[in-house]
Amino acid sequence: MEYNTTRNDLAMREYGRHVQKMIEHLLSIEDPERRQRNAYAVIELMGFLNPHLKNVEDFRHKLWDHLFLISDFKLEVKSPYPIPTRESLSERPKPLPYPKRYPRHSHLGKNLELIIKKALVEEDMEKRAGFANAIAYYMKLAYNNWHKEMVHDDAIQGELSGITNGQLTFTNTPYVKAFRQQDNRERDRSNFGKQRGKFQHRSNNNNGGGGNGNNNQRRNDNRDNRGGGNGGGGNFKKKRY
């Protein structure tokens, strides 16, 4: 019996004890060619644990790095990738610089300002007009998303002229469908009516036409009950004193 207390620690638990024993056996092989063949076999076995990523190039690079990591960087084989070292794995990555952009018009964003600058330096008048029309369409769309209502084209033209100092003017009318609560309510009502009609149609089909007969029977019973109080043919009798 071999207990866990007598075994060495697992370098990477996701590969298990058997893979680690195979890599330890690689360290004991003296023939370089045989050790290299067995190293490729161990890499294939490690890839079987994640078969959907076995043929991905970055994944195979990671497998070779794990092979050297489990062997405590003592395995001497040829790798198709740069062989990692203990120092390279312990290095901390450099922090990524956060993009600091401060748009003058926050509701339009920084990308629209870049497009406006590109439109102002455009010499072709057709392309410049296309830039202006696209910019006006986006401005109207942004206004509609923020305010939930339609905006007149004169307001868009005034804001565009203020941003570009009157250098850009759009020619077409940017059509943006307005978002209105009333339209949504009417749409919800129509959808509810359609669903209700489908439900009633299904219930009538399931009853097989018996629903109308039950309704007629109920109406006849109600008429008999109403007539029984006066004509004496009903269930109720006149109380005598």
The secondary element (H helix, E strand) that includes residue 200 is helix 181-207
pLDDT score at 23: 92
Query: Which of the two residues, 238 and 21, has the higher pLDDT score?
Result: 21
141 close to 164: Cβ distance less than 8 angstroms: no
Per-residue pLDDT tens over the stretch 64-95? 999 999 998 999 999 999 998 888 877 888 88
The pair of three-digit structure tokens given for residue 105, joined into one six-digit string: 């018009």
Confidence at residue 101, expressed as pLDDT on a 0 to 100 scale? 72
pLDDT score at 39: 93
CB 43 within 8 A of CB 67: yes
Q: How far apart are CA 39 and CA 74, in angstroms?
A: 13
Lowest mean pLDDT among 27-36, 42-51, 145-154, 171-180: 171-180
For 199-225, what is the mean pLDDT? 53
What pLDDT is stored for residue 40 in this prediction?
Answer: 94
pLDDT at residue 209, rounded to an integer = 47
- pLDDT of residue 204 exceeding 80, the answer is no
Q: How confident is the model at residue 228 (pLDDT cuts 50, 70, 90)?
A: very low
| pLDDT exceeds cutoff 70 at 123 | yes
pLDDT at 233: 46
Which of 3-12, 37-46, 158-167, 170-179 shows the lowest per-residue confidence on average (mean pLDDT)? Answer: 170-179
The owner of tokens 């395995």 is: 75
- What digits encode the pLDDT tens for the residues 103-122? 777 777 778 888 888 888 88
pTM recorded for the entire structure: 0.43
d(CA 135, CA 143): 12
Please, what is the Cα angle at 69 between 64 and 75, to 5 degrees?
75
